[in-house]
């Protein structure tokens, strides 16, 4: 069966069918998927009931898997490359995994000098209704800025801080300290040039604390503008999950938001793999050693 691509929304998103991802894909199929991913930013592969090893095998065809060494509290004990995203503590192999709630617009691992390229999220258990994920197209957000604002944004560098995570306040003091230790603040350009598409996109999100050379108070209104502007309806696709949907998105040109519009007494559990990006940021404090999360330790 041939691979079929169908757009899901005008702004971004496409569905890919005709593949059984339990099977090893040909190099040609991987190349087609990669092009579809670069073109559509978010891909949905429905009906892919993959185990952790099968998901890792597919995802690793697109780059280097993040072993999540900086975030062990969310990893499967048997396959640390697989994070569990769940709204309740889940026990796997005797290990109780930390809850992860991401109801804030963000780009995965923006608080790392190796911010993620792709994230792959596979739905395993869903609430009866709700629990959608929204995605924003940061190319369109950049393109819609005035030329003057584009020129100004091009000059900015932003500080990304892990302690701005939406569920940071729920962590124990020990876990908060560990998260800060593993991820000291990093600096990224506010406008990124995508290595494969050659397009510019805004790089903002919920981890952005301030701009270099500006106080947090001075930065806040413009950060709020970038985040609000970038998530206007016309730049967003909202995914209503079905069981065994595998989503693959490009963190280099999108943000996402896990909507908490469901009965939170019900379990919502997904499994994630992430790909390391090349080093694209720097530590705010130049004296910082390479964090364990960077894959460079
Ligand atoms: Fe995320």
Residue matched to tokens 């530590």 = 283
pLDDT in tens, 149-180: 999 999 999 999 999 998 898 889 999 999 99
Give residue limits of the domains in the chain: 4-279
Q: What is the pTM of this model?
A: 0.94
| pLDDT above 70 coverage of the chain, percent | 96
Q: What is the DSSP string of 212-276?
A: TTS-HHHHHHHHHHHHHHHT-GGGEEEE---TT-EEEEETTSEEEEE---S-TTS--EEEEEEBP
- 101 band by pLDDT with thresholds 50, 70 and 90: confident
Question: Is 287's pLDDT higher than 70?
Answer: no
Which pLDDT value is given to residue 20?
97
Instruction: Tell me how far the alpha carbon of residue 187 lies from the centroid of ligand 1, in angstroms.
Output: 19
Instruction: Tell me how far the alpha carbon of residue 85 lies from the centroid of ligand 1, in angstroms.
Output: 9
Instruction: Tell me how far the alpha carbon of residue 148 lies from the centroid of ligand 1, in angstroms.
Output: 31
Question: Is 290's pLDDT higher than 60?
Answer: no
Instruction: Tell me how far the alpha carbon of residue 69 lies from the centroid of ligand 1, in angstroms.
Output: 17
Instruction: Tell me how far the alpha carbon of residue 100 lies from the centroid of ligand 1, in angstroms.
Output: 9
Helices (H), the chain: 27-40, 52-59, 138-143, 147-155, 173-182, 216-230
**Is residue 12 within 8 Å of residue 41, measured between CB atoms?**
yes
Average pLDDT rounded to a whole number, residues 37-48: 98
Question: Is 291's pLDDT higher than 80?
Answer: no
Which pLDDT value is given to residue 297?
29
Could you please state the CATH topology (level 3) that the domain comprising 4-279 is classified under. Answer: Double-stranded beta-helix (3.60.130)
Phi and psi at 186, nearest 5°, equal -125, 160
């Amino acid at each position: 069966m041939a691979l079929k691509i169908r757009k899901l929304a005008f702004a971004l998103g496409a569905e890919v069918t005709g593949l059984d991802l339990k099977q090893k894909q040909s190099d040609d199929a991987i190349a087609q998927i990669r092009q579809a991913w670069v073109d559509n930013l978010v891909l949905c592969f429905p009906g892919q009931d993959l185990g952790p090893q099968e998901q890792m095998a597919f995802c690793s065809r697109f780059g280097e898997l993040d072993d999540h060494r900086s975030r062990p509290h969310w990893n499967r004990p048997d396959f640390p490359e697989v994070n569990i995203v769940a709204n309740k503590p889940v026990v796997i192999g005797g290990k109780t995994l930390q809850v992860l709630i991401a109801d804030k617009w963000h780009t995965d691992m923006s608080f790392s000098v190796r911010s993620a390229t792709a994230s792959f999220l596979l739905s395993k258990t869903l609430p009866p209704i709700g629990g959608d994920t929204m995605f924003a197209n940061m190319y369109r957000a950049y393109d819609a800025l005035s030329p003057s604002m584009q020129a100004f944004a091009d000059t900015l560098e932003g500080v990304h801080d892990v302690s701005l995570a939406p569920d940071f306040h729920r962590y124990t003091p020990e876990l908060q300290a560990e998260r800060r230790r593993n991820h000291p603040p990093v600096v990224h350009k506010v406008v990124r040039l995508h290595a494969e598409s050659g397009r510019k996109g805004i790089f903002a999100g919920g981890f952005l604390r301030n701009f270099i050379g500006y106080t947090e108070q001075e930065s806040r209104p413009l950060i709020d503008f970038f985040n609000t502007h970038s998530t206007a309806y016309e730049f967003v696709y909202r995914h209503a999950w079905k069981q065994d949907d595998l989503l693959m998105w490009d963190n280099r040109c999108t943000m996402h938001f896990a909507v908490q519009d469901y009965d939170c007494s019900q379990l919502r559990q997904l499994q994630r793999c992430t790909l390391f990006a090349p080093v694209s940021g720097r530590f705010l404090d130049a004296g910082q050693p390479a964090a364990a999360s960077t894959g460079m330790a």
